[in-house]
Each structure stands twice: as structure tokens, then as C-alpha cells.
Structure 1
């Protein structure tokens, strides 16, 4: 557990402060592989990690249900003018098609979704004693807390979202950063619920991917 946490601390520091942009997904993918190797060394099996072949179909179908629900919510938010400000985000910029493909299929897929799901919905919960046959709050909350801390550096830019700035613009930056990390922790519980009911991390990967990529693509379209 200590090695896993130190590995993740090194990964987020390197990815957000040291390595160039092209190496961001490489850093995430390498960390995911090392975490899985560490879990296997600790004696955890595929079922413990949510990677069992026997439950893959269930995880896939559960994840696709989550994808449909998220796209429905995103579509409503984009269609309602009063909700559309959530997509006005200074972090998005105006990427062209190639840049958008890089961001979605490279940076987000491997640098965000893969490493975060392997770390916080697969390896850490398993090391803390989570089981798919019953919901156990201590390991789920523990992994969610680490997921919130993982967002310490990314949370520094949360105020650049128009909706966040309009609602919480008067909040001190430090307090806003803490709120962003707390929100990430809650999101971690939500994502673990998809992994739990789908009996596999494939479900949470699909939900996480759709949330991040769908939000980015719609934000680019709305701001354009």
C-alpha cells in the first residue's frame, strides 16, 4: 500500500509539473502497469482487481448503461441555455481536429482514465480489502480519499470554469481547491459503484472515459 501511494504521488508530480505534454499519457500508462505488477506481487488475483474474464460481459453492459445516462445528461446541459455555462471552460481552448484526437485518445485515455481506474477502482480498493460480492465502506472511502488527494495539482485550475467561477468566484482559491478535491472524492465513490455493480473495472472505465471525453468534446463544440 505504501509503495502504491508513493508511486501515485510520483506519477502526479511528474505528469503535472515535470514531463512535457507528450509524455503525460506515457507516465499514466507506465504507472498503471507498475500498479498491476505490484498488486500481483501482493497476491491479488484478477477477480480482486475487477479484471476477471467471467464478469467482463456484465461489466461491459453496466458500463454501456452508464455511458447512455451520461450522454443524456450532457445533451440536456448543452441544450438548456442556463446550463450551458458549465461547458465554458478556459482550460479547453480551441483545439483543431488532430489536437482533439490527441487529447481524447491519448492524453485522457491513458494519462487520466486508465491510470485512475487501475489505481483507484482496481488496485487500491483491493489492497484495502474491497470485495465485489458486498459493498464495504472503509476500502471504498479510503480509495476515494486518495482519489481526491490525487487531484491536488489539477484542482488549482478549477476556477477557470465559467460555471464554477460564477457560483464560487468569491471563495478563496485554497478553499476552492479543497472543494474540488472533495468533489473528486465523491466522484470516486460514484465510479466505484459502477465497478461494484458491474463486477469489473471495465464498467467504471467506460463511465469515466465518457464523462471526460464527452465533456471535452461538447465543451469544444459549445465554445466554438
Structure 2
């Protein structure tokens, strides 16, 4: 029953953030409130800080993983930028239109305090630990990753318009949007498997959180910088 409660909280948060929240402050507030509710459910379920990967020892282990994970993501992005064809990946209207202050707000507040906090707490923390305790690690990873993929249905509906590479690859018609959403769900579900395995191997929620922040945070920063410093062509 508590697993169902977690899924319900996530469904409401997803709907609020993608349909009703206006502006970054509302988004972050929704994420923080949803995170707090999920942690209360986890406590009622008897999960410990160690179960969630946020005990002191787990955080120390995660801190050792974090710089290597972030560095690997940054290196991969810079390699893409070094190839003219790869720069199209960073032609994203959502980031390109930001001011410098808005960019900092996204990288330092919206992504870590909003996106990463809620998604890692939910999918690699509370949900993963609940399902793992009941049915084992394989089921925990499968359930968490599938729901993580479905979590991206609503936010991926505008990718064809906002990202040049996605629009060029899939087109912009209604059928093309449906294909894009399906691909986005599959890709993020696969990413969920990687993040769950990282959570398992590191014994820390901080490790997948660091990787998640690096992918999103560096992605925003370089998508903002790419059309200004490395024009596609």
C-alpha cells in the first residue's frame, strides 16, 4: 500500500510541475514538498537512512564517486562539442534563451534542489528501497526504472520543438511527437537502470545524484554556451 502511495505522490507532482507550476520557484517548491512527503512515507515504512543511501557512511562513499562521475560527463560533452556535427545536440531553445542569471539559477538551484532532489529521492531512494525490501534488487531496479521512464512522458512532449537534433531526427508532426515520447521513455528507463546500479554499487544516493546533476547541469550550461561560442555547422 505504501508503494502505491509513493507512486501517487509522484503522479501528482509530475502533473503539477508539467501542467500547473508557473516558473522555476513553483517547480522547486513542488519538488521539495513532494520529497518531504516521500521521506515521511519512507519513515512510516520503517526505512532507515542507510536503506535510502543517505547515512553518513553512504554519503562519504558517494562523495568519493561524485567527482569522477561529473568529470566523465563533462569530458563526454566536451568531446561532442569538439565535433561540428555533435554541436547540434546542444541546440536547445530551453537553455539558449536563458539569461546568465537564469542559467545559474537552473544549474545551481532548479536542477539540484528540484529535479535531482526529487527524482533521486523518489526513484533511487524511497521507491527502490521499498521494492527491494519486499521483492529483491532486480524487481526494485526494474520497477524504479520503468516508472522513471514513464515520469518523462509529459516533459518529453515538447522535445521536437525545443531541441534541434531531436526535431531533425524525428520531425514535428503529432505522430513524430508520439515516437519521440516513446523513445524518451525507453532512454530514460535505461538511464534509470544505470542509476539504480550505481546506487547499488556505491551504497549511496549521492553517487547517482551526482551523475544526474552532471548530465542535466552541464547539459544546460553547454546548451546555453554552444550557440554563443561554438555555432553549429
TM-score, normalised relative to structure 2: 0.90
Residue 130 to residue 185, structure 1, CA distance change in 2 (3 Å):
farther
Contact 2:62 2:207 in 1 (8 A): yes
Contact 2:74 2:218 in 1 (8 A): yes
Deviation (angstroms), 1:130: 5.8
SS of the residue corresponding to residue 54 of structure 2 reads: coil
Alignment-derived partner of residue 185 in structure 1: 189
Equivalent pairs, count = 221
SS of the residue corresponding to residue 155 of structure 1 reads: helix
Match status 1:121 vs 2:124? yes
Q: Deviations over 1:99-156 (max 9, x none)?
A: 112222222122211100000110001110169xxx9321101000110111111010
Match status 1:156 vs 2:149? no
- C-alpha distance in structure 1 between counterparts of 2:133 and 2:79, whole Å: 35
Match status 1:54 vs 2:57? yes
Contact 1:62 1:197 in 2 (8 A): no
Runs in 1 of length 4+ with deviation above 6 angstroms?
Answer: none
Where does the alignment leave 5 or more consecutive residues of structure 1 unmatched?
none
Q: Deviations over 1:174-206 (max 9, x none)?
A: 122111111111111111222222110001111
RMSD between aligned residues:
1.7
TM-score, normalised relative to structure 1: 0.93
Alignment-derived partner of residue 136 in structure 1: 137
Residue 137 to residue 172, structure 1, CA distance change in 2 (3 Å):
same
Contact 2:95 2:103 in 1 (8 A): no
- C-alpha distance in structure 2 between counterparts of 1:55 and 1:137, whole Å: 21
- C-alpha distance in structure 1 between counterparts of 2:214 and 2:99, whole Å: 20
Alignment-derived partner of residue 71 in structure 1: 74
- C-alpha distance in structure 1 between counterparts of 2:94 and 2:15, whole Å: 19
For 1:8-27, list aligned pairs within 5 A.
8-21=10-23, 22-27=25-30
